[in-house]
Structure 1
């Protein structure tokens, strides 16, 4: 793995574990045992690093969408929820959950990338819900996008809450999201 990719990986892990404002290039340099100047060579600013991290997640979302494209709506939803569950490993939360709180402190380029990631996620989820409702596997009374927003809100809130309460709280909310869709 190239140094640039390692920096992105460590930055991503730090954001998802301790938050954007709690880490610095110095933290990354200590972990990688390199000088801060090496990080600045690849990312002159923290904003540029965060944009690259969000772009990595956009890429991962696109890969996920291709991987599940031929599955049923229910299978897609199960896999989507599993991604959020896996993202919680080692006390981390999703990149959306980790960065949403700091949205207004970011400069415009980061805000734009974060909006793009959120919109792409919501659009895919909305289409998956619509597909499931059309084929009769999902049941809910509201507009598709509203339901998608409610699911994302529940996931982001649950992953944060489970840091304070019990990790099984996230699992229960995840299972409830699915069971309410397919009842």
Structure 2
């Protein structure tokens, strides 16, 4: 990938996480990078092309994380997932899936499918982690693992939103309580 394309993707990712997908234009990408709008259009003729690529990068990053985490006990894998959200909290970002969910109905079918692929992949991984963690007695909860995975994801996503209003301590409080509730013996 070209350096310019990488910079465009990085800026787009940041803008999606801070402003929302529909709240920025190619000008918002081009100006801080000191490039022309035409350069953004060259790499991404349609904004949905840009969105799909940003999501693809996130899917790849998450996959790489989970490969690294695979050798850890499930409670530590869960803590690593929370750390990903903690990093975004420290940067003033919200998670990509949470940000894209608000604009989902306005996306092209290709971009909607990519958002669904990302969500399904994360929830599937988390469901498996919870099931294995319960089996290995590292994680404790009642009910189906998939329902618990959805609860965890919705809590982590909303904690980043609450942090925008209430400050970073809101995220820390929610994340710490989630881990304590699930990982205590």
Do both share a fold (TM > 0.5)? yes
Partner of 1:131: 132
**Where does the alignment leave 5 or more consecutive residues of structure 2 unmatched?**
none
Residue of structure 1 in register with 2:32 after alignment: 31
Q: 1:48-87 to 2 correspondence within 5 Å?
A: 48-87=49-88
Q: How does 1:85-100 map to 2 (within 5 A)?
A: 85-100=86-101
Deviation at 1:90, TM superposition (A): 2.9
**Alignment check: 8 A CA contact 2:89 2:171 kept:** no
CA–CA separation in structure 1 for the residues paired with 2:112 and 2:90: 26
Q: In structure 2, how many angstroms separate the alpha carbons of the residues matched to 1:41 and 1:6?
A: 14
The residue number in structure 1 matching 2:16 is 15
What is the CA distance between 1:50 and its match in structure 2? 0.5
SS in structure 2 of the partner of residue 102 of structure 1 = helix
TM-score (norm 2): 0.96
Q: Report Cα offsets for 1:39-98 as digits up to 9, x if no partner.
A: 100000111001000000000011001110111001101111000110223321110111
- What do you get for the CA RMSD once the two structures are aligned? 0.9
Match of 2:152 in 1: 151
Instruction: Name structure 1 gaps, 5 residues minimum.
Output: none
Please state how far the C-alpha of 1:105 moved relative to its aligned partner: 1.1
After superposition, residues 160-179 of structure 1 pair within 5 angstroms as 160-179=161-180
Give the CA deviation at 1:166: 2.0
1:101 partner SS: helix
What is the aligned partner in structure 1 of residue 7 from structure 2? 6
| Counterpart-to-counterpart distance in 2, 1:34 and 1:139 | 51
Normalised to the residue count of structure 1, the TM-score between the two structures is 0.97
Instruction: Classify the secondary structure of the residue corresponding to 2:142.
Output: coil
Any idea what the Cα deviations from partners look like across 1:106-153, whole Å, max 9, x if unmatched? 111111000000000001100110111001121111100000000001
Q: Distance in 2 between matches of 1:144 and 1:31?
A: 43
Stretch moving more, 158-167 or 115-124: 158-167
Q: Is 1:111 aligned to 2:120, yes or no?
A: no
